[in-house]
Amino acid sequence: MKSFCIIGLGNFGKTLALTLSESGHQVLVINKDEAEIDQIGDQVVSAICGDATNESVLRTAGVNNYDCCVVCMENNMQDSILITLLLKEMGANKIVARASSERQKKVLIKLGADVVVFPEKDMAQKLAQILAKNDVLEYFNLSDKFSIAEIKVPKRWIGMSIRELEIRKKYGVNVIATCDYDNQNFEIFNNPERLFRADEKVVIVGDNDSIEKLTGK
């Protein structure tokens, strides 16, 4: 279990706080709007109604005691900058900040953010990757060159094994797991003789060009 301090309860901050809490992590939320605090206050370990640009609010919260602090301010870059700077000065262990542009990212990194995220941009890019590739159900970038994709079993694979198909040699990807469409019976794929079925999904890893070639860019 990890501990998180979530600052700002817009849609992104609220969803992040609830998801982390539901996953069993310790979550503190800080927000100026008491009505927004009331919406999730009983679903997290602790909630503080206050202005996080005020150093005393952050000190009262004990932000340096948390594994990670996430600055989730929406449409208020000035507050994001000030809060990030305060967190850095107070010795926060890890600072994640939200940004909406590369320029904002550069500023936040210089002020001490360890990680900067672009929720809307990241979601749009992920959706574009899924929509642009045939039979792709999920897509995650590991780096600029490599990704993991969850795909439908290609028709030409059904009833055949990895050894027969020579998947790594022909397509340049590795099959690492399979699971049913209801996400049950997840199975690490370590048997080259196992036959692919039409009623399952396949998780593959490889360079982006190879995945695009396989899925039909």
Q: How far apart are CA 15 and CA 47, in angstroms?
A: 15
Buried b (16+ CB within 10 A) or exposed e, 175-187: bebbeeeeeeeee
Is the sign of the CA dihedral 86, 89, 92, 94 positive or negative?
A: positive
Q: What is the pLDDT of residues 5-40, one digit of tens each?
A: 999 998 889 989 998 999 899 999 999 999 999 989
Asked if the model's pLDDT at residue 131 lies above 60, the reply is no
pLDDT for residue 2:
93
pLDDT for residue 213:
82
pLDDT for residue 109:
92
Q: What is the pLDDT of residues 36-82, one digit of tens each?
A: 999 898 899 999 999 999 999 999 999 999 999 999 988 788 999 99
pLDDT for residue 121:
62
In the numeric block, which tokens belong to residue 150? 């969850």
Percent of all residues in the chain with a pLDDT value above 90, rounded to a whole number: 45
pLDDT for residue 9:
93
Q: How far apart are CA 59 and CA 189, in angstroms?
A: 49
Fill in the DSSP letter of residue 88: H
Q: How far apart are CA 137 and CA 105, in angstroms?
A: 30
Instruction: Look at 187 and 56; give whichever has higher pLDDT.
Output: 56
Q: Which CATH class is domain 3-117?
A: alpha beta
Q: Mean of the pLDDT values across residues 115-135?
A: 64
- CB neighbours (10 Å) of residue 71? 29
Q: Mean of the pLDDT values across residues 72-95?
A: 92
Asked if the model's pLDDT at residue 120 lies above 60, the reply is yes
Please calculate the CA angle 58-16-10 and round it to the nearest 5 degrees. 70
Residue with tokens 């109604």: 49
Asked if the model's pLDDT at residue 179 lies above 60, the reply is yes
Q: Mean of the pLDDT values across residues 88-112?
A: 91
Residue 185: helix, strand or coil by DSSP?
Answer: coil
Q: Using an 8 Å Cβ cutoff, are 58 and 85 in contact?
A: no
Q: Domain boundaries in the chain?
A: 3-117, 122-215
Percent of all residues in the chain with a pLDDT value above 70, rounded to a whole number: 88
Asked if the model's pLDDT at residue 142 lies above 60, the reply is yes
Q: What is the mean pLDDT of the chain?
A: 86
Please give the CATH topology (third level) of the domain spanning 122-215: Alpha-Beta Plaits (3.30.70)
